[in-house]
Structure 1
Amino acid sequence: MNRFLALFAFAVFAGFLYILASKIGELDLWLVTLFTAALAAYDFLTSSKNKS
């Protein structure tokens, strides 16, 4: 359940970033947006592993 909520939060965050970047449309904002989404995805993948 915890992983599902984290995935949902990441999807909402990625959707917000996409809307922001698509409305403005500048290349440098797209690059920063992609870098930010990549960092959030990395954090999601590394922090949601089962720790046993």
Structure 2
Amino acid sequence: MNRFLALFAFAVFAGFLYILASKIGEIDLWIVTLLTAGLAAYDFVTSSKDNS
């Protein structure tokens, strides 16, 4: 359940970043957006591993 909520939160965050970057449309913002989403995805993958 925690992994599902984390995935949902990541999807909402990525959607927000996409809307922000697509409305402004500057290449610099796209780079920062992709870097931010990549770091958030890395954190999701590493922190939601099954530690059993």
Seq. identity, % = 87
The alignment covers a number of residue pairs equal to 52
CA distance in 2, matches of 1:8, 1:37: 14
Off by >6 Å, runs of 4+ in structure 1? none
- SS of residue paired to 2:39: helix
Report the RMSD for the aligned CA atoms in angstroms. 0.4
- Unmatched 5+ stretches in structure 2: none
Q: TM-score, normalised by structure 1?
A: 0.98
Cα drift, residue 6 of structure 1 = 0.2
- SS of residue paired to 1:37: helix
